[in-house]
Structure 1
Amino acid sequence: MKQILPDEQAMAVFGAQLAQALRGGGVVFLVGDLGMGKTTLSRGILRGCGHAGSVKSPTYTLVEPYETPQGPVFHFDLYRLSDPEELEYLGIRDYFTEKSLCLVEWPDKGAGMLPAADMEIRLSLHGQGRELTLTAQTPKGQVMVDRLKDCLAVTAEGT
């Protein structure tokens, strides 16, 4: 599934819609070059999950945990990871539970240590905006994509 977003505000709104599709937890890989909006999308998802506080980029901490009304959300940014083995020291397995939602920026840096993604979201330039390509990687991911399509259809009907 592809989605074109014209600006940062649209990215945040889309993230909030996406949060509804991600209820129940799962693993989402966010893939794209620097400045493509991965953290902005994550911020929108967290807002959509009901988090009202600040959302920090986990660039230096590698992971930021959030307790939301929708359940635990862990936002990873592995950009500064020099070796995937470092994730073992973080207790990486403790974060990926059945009920948690794990948003992982730069998942390639954790290759071999991360569980498989339920959904991969690729972000790329599209004019002044961004193109998001959402791909289900598991049956759970397909449920997420289908929920998102339903959510977007309802939103389109209301406009």
Structure 2
Amino acid sequence: MPVWGYFYCCVFLLSCCFGLFDKNRLRRPYQPAGEILDCLCGILIFLIAFSVVQFEFSATISSLCFIYTLAWSYHAHRHYLDYKKFKSDIHKTAIAEHEKLFEKISEINERAIEDGVDPSELESIEQTYDFDQIEKEAHFFYIGTVVVILIILIPYLYVYLKSVGLSGS
């Protein structure tokens, strides 16, 4: 198996660990088993493609594993593919950061006034939220997310096609 294949299998393992230990996601009883099976299926496709293991029906097993990994990946990460939810998450994060920054500058200004600085000398911050700028950023982040997904999927598709005997030697 080539070095990039080992690297890709490590990515599977790391994503499985992240999926199992991510504290921000609600856990359903089937999710740990689904994450582990997804990881094992992804690695098995590599093992079949590079003839590390051989089965009587390798193409069928590889196809079932490929279908499962695509279905599970879509199920587990579908919120990244919904543009409206993606934009909403970006806006929530940006609003929270804007509010933190505004509070911090307000605290600094209050301390400066308490220390005897003239209020007219203090810098002010706009309280308005730049919706259009965040909307533009969300659009580019979404495009970037889709491109990253495709970049990850292309080598995986190649390995799958190799495992069923349709590509490579």
Say yes or no: TM over 0.5. Answer: no
* TM-score normalised per structure 2: 0.27
Tell me which protein shows more strand as a share of its residues. Answer: 1
Larger Rg, first or second structure (1 or 2) = 2
Tell me which protein shows more helix as a share of its residues. Answer: 2
